[in-house]
Amino acid sequence: MSEAKRQGKAVVVGGSIAGICCAHALIAAGWDVVVLEKTPSPPTGCATGAGLGLDPLSQKLIQSWIKKPNLLHLNTLPLTIDQNQAIDGDEKISRTLARDENFNFRAAYWADLHSLVYTALPPNIVCWRHTFLSFSISDDKTHVKVKIKILQTGEIIDTIGDVLIAADGCLSSIRQSFLPDHKLRYSGYCAWRGVLNFSDNENSETILKLKKAFPDIGKCLYFNLGKETHTVFYELLNKRINWIWYVNQPEPQLKGNSVTMKVSDDMIEKMHVGAEKYWLPELAKVIRETKEPFLNVIYDSEPLDQIVWDNVVLIGNAAHPTTPHGLRSTNMSILDAAVLGKSLEKWGVENLNLALQEYQSIRLPVNSEQVLFSRRLGRIKQGLAFPDCKPFDPSIASQEDCEKLQQKNMPYFSDIPSILL
């Protein structure tokens, strides 16, 4: 940054993956950054999140932000195979539908990834217990004033930035203020999720049998397709199995500002019985032994027409709520952050509008197509109807249809935006 240039200041709302990656990308671009996060402290333990997949470019970007790049590999496991198999729940047999051995993702635990990226930030960038309340854009559109509530004291303060970055997730209140009629779209199904920690009993019958039935566990993303339902599971570092089971059902009523539902013991027991019916006993056992499984309601939304309004910009899930089937939610957030950082660096705070327009023109088309592809993949794997084709049935699907299940068909699968080169 040349001496003559004024340093820009960004106010980022949301200290999850998108927000903290954005802080790294903007600091690298020479910006002053503050991240407002309403939760009390950095997420650590069991209750926060589960597994996620990281593609090669996301891995590279994260490595560029953390001080010890090798830590990323030490904190993740390889996912080198993307395998889809049909499960016959009555006969308890599986049959491979499609297998891609050139998959090069890595599996991370959400809280581990967050911690890795967060701890590499300089101190005092993230303000925990700070709730964003509202914003106003100055008349000349050069600044944005942000109202914040400090939860510890109840005090309400203002801060001013050149740009406001909304990284406040799929229920973004900043997006809502521009698009009050924009609604999330219920996918048609919910996801039971959990992480089995088997560090205490590595040689238990459950684990040995799982490894026998699914020999590539430890490097494989296993999709099991049943009749109108599917599961996905893979291993995480430190002896953990991450699993997700998608169940078609009417939209549940959610309470509060969360897409995770409260579950009763009764619901868990029913889920266990269902797992024994639909899946191989080796997987059903893992599901049964998992402590505190939880239920996510799966939403996405119609792609937006714009993600920039004057000097306010959306990134991450705020910009593109998505279903998880493309393993892209985190990928898109990391890419958004990196592209936004490079655009700001290229144009400088003097040309903020051009920078934000460039960010939007790079990210909007890619994200929109990836969200729609992920939606389609989810509907295929759940045996749900489409306007243009029959519901997928794994027991009779053609080889050609099975090929469509693969992650590598994602639009822009290995495109690197030129601004990052």
Interface ranges with ligand NAG (CB under 6 A): 46, 55-57, 197, 199-200, 238, 331-332, 335, 366, 410, 412-416
Please identify, using beta-carbon distances, which residue of 241 and 247 lies nearer to ligand NAG: 241
Burial class (CB in 10 A: 0-12, 13-18, 19+), 108: buried
In the 8-state DSSP scheme, what is residue 148?
E
The interface partner of residue 415, options being ligand FAD, ligand NAG, none and the CB cut-off 5 to 8 Å by kind, is ligand NAG
Torsion angle of C-alpha atoms 348, 352, 354, 357, degrees rounded to 10: 120
The interface partner of residue 16, options being ligand NAG, ligand FAD, none and the CB cut-off 5 to 8 Å by kind, is ligand FAD
Contact 75, 118 (CB under 8 A): no
The interface partner of residue 416, options being ligand NAG, ligand FAD, none and the CB cut-off 5 to 8 Å by kind, is ligand NAG
Helices (H), 83-126: 110-119
Contacts of the segment 199-203: beta carbons below 8 A, 24+ positions apart: 199/238, 199/239, 199/240, 202/239
The interface partner of residue 191, options being ligand FAD, ligand NAG, none and the CB cut-off 5 to 8 Å by kind, is none
Least CB distance from residue 407 to ligand NAG, whole Å? 8
Contact 367, 303 (CB under 8 A): yes
Binding residues vs ligand FAD (CB under 6 A) = 13-19, 36-39, 43, 48-52, 110, 131-132, 167-170, 173, 316-318, 324, 329-330, 333
User: DSSP characters for 220-244?
Assistant: EEEEEEETTEEEEEEEETTTEEEEE
The interface partner of residue 18, options being ligand NAG, ligand FAD, none and the CB cut-off 5 to 8 Å by kind, is ligand FAD
The interface partner of residue 366, options being ligand NAG, ligand FAD, none and the CB cut-off 5 to 8 Å by kind, is ligand NAG
Please identify, using beta-carbon distances, which residue of 312 and 332 lies nearer to ligand NAG: 332
The C-alpha atoms of residue 71 and residue 52 are separated, in whole angstroms, by: 17
The C-alpha atoms of residue 53 and residue 56 are separated, in whole angstroms, by: 10
Least CB distance from residue 337 to ligand NAG, whole Å? 12
The interface partner of residue 62, options being ligand FAD, ligand NAG, none and the CB cut-off 5 to 8 Å by kind, is none
Least CB distance from residue 225 to ligand NAG, whole Å? 22
Least CB distance from residue 352 to ligand NAG, whole Å? 23
Least CB distance from residue 161 to ligand FAD, whole Å? 15
Please identify, using beta-carbon distances, which residue of 347 and 412 lies nearer to ligand NAG: 412
Please identify, using beta-carbon distances, which residue of 94 and 187 lies nearer to ligand FAD: 187
Please identify, using beta-carbon distances, which residue of 316 and 383 lies nearer to ligand FAD: 316
Please identify, using beta-carbon distances, which residue of 61 and 146 lies nearer to ligand NAG: 61
Least CB distance from residue 249 to ligand NAG, whole Å? 30
**Residue 328 DSSP SS3:** coil
**Residue 100 DSSP SS3:** strand
The interface partner of residue 96, options being ligand FAD, ligand NAG, none and the CB cut-off 5 to 8 Å by kind, is none
Provide the token pair at 42: 């950095």
C-alpha distances in Å from residue 231, one per residue of 153, 168, 267, 302, 337? 45, 28, 18, 25, 30
Please identify, using beta-carbon distances, which residue of 111 and 384 lies nearer to ligand FAD: 111
The interface partner of residue 188, options being ligand NAG, ligand FAD, none and the CB cut-off 5 to 8 Å by kind, is none
Least CB distance from residue 51 to ligand FAD, whole Å? 6
Least CB distance from residue 322 to ligand FAD, whole Å? 8
The C-alpha atoms of residue 299 and residue 73 are separated, in whole angstroms, by: 31
Angle CA(361)–CA(25)–CA(38) in degrees, nearest 5?
100
**Residue 370 DSSP SS3:** helix
| Residue owning tokens 């944005």 | 144
The C-alpha atoms of residue 322 and residue 300 are separated, in whole angstroms, by: 4
**Gap between the terminal Cα atoms of the chain:** 19
**Residue 138 DSSP SS3:** coil
Least CB distance from residue 345 to ligand NAG, whole Å? 18
Please identify, using beta-carbon distances, which residue of 351 and 409 lies nearer to ligand NAG: 409
Q: Which amino acid is at 258?
A: S
Least CB distance from residue 334 to ligand NAG, whole Å? 8
The interface partner of residue 400, options being ligand FAD, ligand NAG, none and the CB cut-off 5 to 8 Å by kind, is none
